Amino acid sequence: MGYLYAFAKEFLTLTRLVLPYFLGGAAVGAALDVFVKPEFALKHLRGGWLSMAKASILGMVLPGCSCATMPMAAGLRRKGADLGTVASFLLASPLVSPQTLVLTWAVLGWKFTAARALAAFCGAMLIGAIFLWLERHKPGFLDIPAPAPEKNCCSGCGCSGGEEEEGAKKFWPVFMDILKDLSKYFVLGMAIASLLTVLIPPDAIPRYIGSSGPLAYITAVLLGVPLYVCEGEEIPLTLSLLKLGLGPGPAFAFLLGSVGTCIPTLIMSQKLIGRRGLFVYAAWWVVFSFGAGALFSFF
């Protein structure tokens, strides 16, 4: 009964803190989803460095998890966008969205929020540069398959799919769809974070892996990159790790790594960037998460 009471108390406290920002972020995300049209991307994102910068920013602005934006990335490729633009969009999109920025600021503070936005843009530009160079200078390295029909979003990610909707989007239906899609992951994230806080002894992380040493970074990255969570769920998990004694640098590495990859996303990415490109993309996620966390620890 003691653990159950402690869990319920932690869950209610954390939910009461985060819920207003969750609703506000969903409202901003719905507004952008209604007024920022996919046609803008298909028109302005063709190729080159400026296109990669636009793709990075657009990926950060549009709401949706990495699976939800896969059909749009496929559309960019079919419209003639280079691999650098596609890779930039694919990396930036799951790292940042309006609602996750609001939640990050509310739960983790402005330093995590600013670092998350900066890391998303810089990381997207760097992976875009890698793929742009490979496409232009090592065309035989990337075995790109022929364009395939768009797929719906992967199951389990809480997104609404990639099918075209009939008629103009309206704010309230989109807002309710976002709440319906994300609320179960919001509750799940709160529950997992509360369980970690209650069940793991406060000194366990500093004692066994250290708060900010090499083992802490390696553990955070190896847990975060394979452990995909949908947008917003990673924030209370990161908070619980911080409360348990994990340092800000490894916690930031976990924050980034946990939202960028999942098996269905990687499978669909292979159809856009090829098998070797997929290996480069996955390896970059590991290096990127580790490096971003290490840099964040200095600030």
Residue 279's contacts (CB-CB under 8 Å, 6 or more residues apart) are: none
Total number of domains in the chain: 1
Using a pLDDT cut of 70, give the percent of the chain over it: 73
The pLDDT tens digits for 2-21 are 788 888 988 898 788 778 77
Distance CA 69, CA 163 (A): 11
User: What pLDDT shows up at residue 149?
Assistant: 45
Of 15-24, 224-233, 254-263, the one with minimum mean pLDDT is 224-233
Distance CA 120, CA 94 (A): 9
Distance CA 58, CA 40 (A): 10
Nearest to 155 by CA among 264, 297, 17, 71: 264
Q: How far is CA 115 from the centre of its chain?
A: 14
Q: Give the domain extent around 14.
A: 2-296
Task: Count Cα neighbours of 280 within 13 Å in the Cβ-side half-sphere.
Answer: 22
Span 31-49, mean pLDDT? 68
